[in-house]
Structure 1
Amino acid sequence: MDVNIKEIKGSWDKGYSLDKHIFSSSPAGYNSHGFLQFRTVRSVIGEVLFQLKYRLDFSPDEFCAQVNLLASQILKSLEVTFSLVDLVVPIPPSKKRDKQPVVEIAKEYARLKNIPCYENLLLKNSYTKPLKNVHNTKDRISTLTGVFSVIDVLPEGLHNILLIDDLVYTGVSLEAATAVLRSYNKIRNVFVLTITRKEQE
């Protein structure tokens, strides 16, 4: 799979995203219920992620196959970059789903790399509205204030963690999570990986 990897800057030690989420989106008229529809062109990675989040709830085999595809791509593209990582942490989702794509991708990547995944290390104290619907940076920061907390579940020592998220736009969510993780005395370095990115205009 072709990807367009880009470094993402922030308070973490090193971060990357695999590709853009969307190349273009334009109005395509109204549906029979009067809702405006859009003609959206996604990257290959963006389309796989979209299918995982919104289309594959009732196809478990296909869901697992696409999760493996994304996790394998992370390993293939950034194996050397993340060679020091010794555990994986998914960023807690904003919306409840039967299967959380970010969590499943993190677990599969950890399995492929033969390192642990701690999905209960970083917790969201309350569910928030999806940040894709919060367009003002100040409001995004306010939405996430005090939302994350860390549970002391790691073995003794200092660990290099890989924080995985599905999509980055302003990076506010990743910044908030990184700040909380850095307050934990068992963390040495925080690395960040997002499957896709929405680039600011």
Structure 2
Amino acid sequence: MAAINPRQIKGNWADGYALDIHTTGSVYLGVNEYGHDVYDTTRSEAGELLYRLKYRSDLKAAEELVAVAAAYIAPNAANFDVIVPVPPSGVRAVQPVITLADGIRAALNIPVANCIVTTRPPTQLKGVVDPQRRRELLEGLYALNGDPVRDRRVLLFDDLFRSGSTMNAITNVLMGQGGAASVHAFTITRTRSNQ
């Protein structure tokens, strides 16, 4: 099983954790023949598994991540009534968040509610460092489909935590419109900085 080093993630949820940081280092190597910046990046074990899942559709990496995540959540699993995954922001052959949430559901017998929907096509926030611009892009982006979280204890799940803007926006929807009893946040990895 992959080694982890859990890190607290802060936001407007009751409590939150990531299993580890995503990258441990990155050295700029220059520009490749296509004009793209190239880096030599090292990742934590969880970060490497997540990278393989996200960018190589490696389902073996997903199995390893589910085992680690389920083992971490298991001692507190009775505190959660439902897992709510953050909806994917783009199209991929394998959607990491959905794949991992379904695996954790199967391992821990906590139902998954894919109840957060987007009201318009989302903008990738990866390159947006201005907090005000992030808030503008997220304003009104998420809504609740149905009533699956009312008075329930939610484990909000994403694969990678950067600034928390997306998870904060979704927590507001779950607590406000959704009437959730509580929201706790959980991610596989977090970036080294919150930008």
> After superposition, where does 1:26-105 map in structure 2 within 5 Å?
26-56=27-57, 62-63=58-59, 65-105=60-100
How far off is 1:81 after superposition? 3.4
Deviations 1:5-36 (A, max 9, x none): 01112111111000001111111233233332
Give the count of matched residue pairs.
193
| Structural mapping, 1:1-201, within 5 Å | 1-56=2-57, 62-63=58-59, 65-119=60-114, 121-154=115-148, 158-200=151-193
User: Residues 66-114 of structure 1, C-alpha deviation per residue, up to 9 Å, x if partnerless?
Assistant: 2221122112123223431121111011112232100110111011111
Tell me, what secondary structure is at the counterpart of 1:131?
A: coil
Q: Tell me the alpha carbon deviations over residues 33-68 of structure 1, each in whole angstroms, 9 at most, x when there is no partner.
A: 333211001111111111111122xxxxx41x2222
CA distance in 2, matches of 1:158, 1:34: 51
CA RMSD, 1 decimal: 1.7
1-structure distance, mates of 2:179, 2:131:
30
Stretches of structure 1 lacking an aligned partner (at least 5 in a row): 57-61
Distance 1:103 1:169 in 2: 18
Distance 1:115 1:77, change over 3 A: closer
Whole-angstrom CA distance in 1 between matches of 2:183 and 2:43: 29
Matched residue SS, 2:12: coil
On the 8 A contact 1:6/1:17 being kept in 2, the answer is: yes
Structure 1 distance, partners of 2:178, 2:25, is 43
Counterpart AA for 2:173: V
Contact 1:154/1:186 (8 A) holds in 2: no
How far apart are the structure 1 equivalents of 2:153 and 2:68?
20
Which stretches of structure 1, 4 residues or more, deviate above 4 A after TM superposition?
none
Query: Identity of aligned pairs, percent?
Result: 31
Is the Cα–Cα contact under 8 Å of residues 134 and 165 in structure 2 kept in the other structure? yes
Matched residue SS, 1:80: helix
